[in-house]
Every structure is written in structure tokens, then in C-alpha cells.
Amino acid sequence: MQIFLPIAEVSVNAFTLLGLGGIVGVLSGMFGVGGGFLITPLLFFVGIPPAVAVATSANQIVASSVSGVLAHFKRKTVDLKMGFVLLAGGLVGSAIGIQIFNLLKAMGQVDLLVTLCYVVFLGIIGFLMLIESIRAIKRAKGRPGGRPARKKHLWVHTLPFKMKFRASGLYISAIPPIAVGVMVGMLGAVMGVGGGFIMVPAMIYILGMPTKVVIGTSLFQIIFTAGFTTLLHAYTNHTVDVLLAFLLLVGGVIGAQIGTQIGLKLKAEQLRIALALLVLAVCLKLGIDLLIPPKDLYSLGS
């Protein structure tokens, strides 16, 4: 069932796009990530131009995140106060990121730089998460209650402008959450990601939030940041393909509900190690694609 995408200007199988949206929706519900780090490179693989893939994937991220966060609201695993603080930084970061994206587009380097960003960020985050997850599992086995001791980050507690986040059981400065939000907003605009693969580890290891609360709060923030990014891309670049977005949305909403149920049945340490392995797998695939010569070698000259 081939359909023509007007903005992307390519024909793609509709069921393939529904399947991609569904897979990313499952991951969104399980791990609290928007899924952009996976959907964007997957859209590259099926022939969608990078600029369109980056802009349109933000739509799918919004849908998966809304579906996932509704399930978490029912279980009261969303820290709204933390979510709004992260959002304040996220909106600023998105506006900055759009300007960077426009600059790269004008230089003609969007494709290469977006892929390189993925390889670097996914490699670093995946490796650090994998090491920490293995340590957490070892600590859990070594303690009689089976629960690891929470790591204290003293530098976070010494910063000014402290706020109390009751749902997370934290009393920390607002500066680190805002900084995390700005970084994630910039990545979302440049790379077409929700930023969950950066935000979730940062919320766990820097802010010290409980894993179950992190997932719902991350999704809550991603809804607004990704939505804002989509509007900016549509207004400044005109690269949002509505038909492509709709097919990804349908698959994403269904997948997110399934992913939430799976995530609730897994332990926190298991969720962390599964996400780390997934991040490293995507990084490896993109890295290999950068090194392998393309099938069609050609150059454009005046």
C-alpha cells in the first residue's frame, strides 16, 4: 500500500510507517523517552529526507508522549512541579535549537551533522547508562532488602534557588533542572528528538529522582517541548509532512499504551539496562552507516 508524501516528495508503504510509529510508541511508554532518537534515523532508512524527518518526527513524539503520560497520570507517577521547571528551560532551548538548525540548513550540512550528533550523544549516554545499570543491579543483589542506596549528589544540594518537589521527594536548586531542559530543547530542535534519552539519565543520576516518577515527568515535559519545536519548524522551514505525521501518530498512540503496561512489570534496574542497550544499538547502526560508502556516489557541481 504505497502512498505519496507531499512534503517529503517520496512514496512509502503506509503499513511500514504505522509499524515504525507503533514500535516507537512502545518504547515511549516503557522508558519515558519520546522515541525521536529512534524514529528519526528509521525515517532516514526508509528514504525520508533528513530535514523532513527531523521536523515531522516531533509530531509523533508529541502523540506518543501524550498517550504515555495519560497512563502515568492515572498511577500518580508524574511530578508536575518538576515538569514545569524542566519545561521553562526546554522552550528556551527549542528556540535556540531552531536557529542552529536553520544555520546548518543554509550551509547544507544538516544530514551529516545530525547523524554525527546522534552517534556521539547516543554512544556517550548509552555507555554511561550501561555501566551504572550493571552497578545498580550488583548493589541491589548485595543488599538484604534488594534496594540500592540512592546516590547523593552534593553539588546539586549546594546550589541556590532551592525548591521542594514533593512527588519526587527532593529539595534541590531549580538551576540543574532548567539547564537540563535547555539542553534537551536544543537537541530536540536540531536532531528531531524529544530528548528523553538525555533527560531520563540526567533526572536519575544528576537530580536523583526515583525511576518510576522520572518516566512520567519526562513525557510530560516532552509533550510541550516537541509541540513547540513542531510549530517553529512548520513556520520557519515548512518541512512538516502532515500525512507522514498522521500515520506515525496512529501507530505511536497505540504502542505507548502497550509500552506503559510492559514498563510497570519491569524493575527499575531492568528498565535502565534495557534502555542503555537500545541506545547503544542505534548508535552502532548509525556509526556503521557513516563509514560504509553509499551505493550511489555522485557530486553536484556548478
Q: What pLDDT is stored for residue 258 in this prediction?
A: 82
Span 169-186, average pLDDT: 81
Span 78-100, average pLDDT: 84
Q: Which grid coordinates are listed for 68?
A: 504515555
Span 27-51, average pLDDT: 74
Q: What pLDDT is stored for residue 302 in this prediction?
A: 44
- Does 157 have pLDDT greater than 70? no
Lowest mean pLDDT among 7-16, 225-234, 266-275: 266-275
Dihedral in degrees, nearest 10, Cα atoms 16, 21, 24, 29: -140
Task: Return the number of other C-beta atoms located less than 10 Å from residue 143's C-beta.
Answer: 10
Question: pLDDT tens digits for 237-246?
Answer: 777 777 888 8
Q: Which grid coordinates are listed for 242?
A: 502532515
Taking a C-beta distance cutoff of 8 angstroms, is the pair 132, 271 a contact?
A: no
Taking a C-beta distance cutoff of 8 angstroms, is the pair 201, 218 a contact?
A: no
Question: pLDDT tens digits for 273-301?
Answer: 877 887 788 788 778 877 877 665 555 54
pLDDT band at residue 143 under the 50/70/90 scheme: low
Through-space distance between the first and last CA atoms of the chain, rounded to whole angstroms: 39
pTM, entire model: 0.66
Span 5-31, average pLDDT: 79
Dihedral in degrees, nearest 10, Cα atoms 92, 95, 101, 103: -110
Span 39-46, average pLDDT: 78
Taking a C-beta distance cutoff of 8 angstroms, is the pair 217, 75 a contact?
A: no
Find all residues with CB under 8 Å of 202, minimum gap 6, and list them: 180
Write down the mean pLDDT value for the chain: 76
Higher per-residue confidence, 133 vs 268: 133
- Does 97 have pLDDT greater than 80? yes
Question: pLDDT tens digits for 49-60?
Answer: 877 877 777 777
Span 98-113, average pLDDT: 78
- Does 122 have pLDDT greater than 60? yes
Taking a C-beta distance cutoff of 8 angstroms, is the pair 114, 54 a contact?
A: yes
Name the DSSP class of 165: E
Higher per-residue confidence, 180 vs 195: 180
Integer Cα distance of 36 and 264 in angstroms? 22
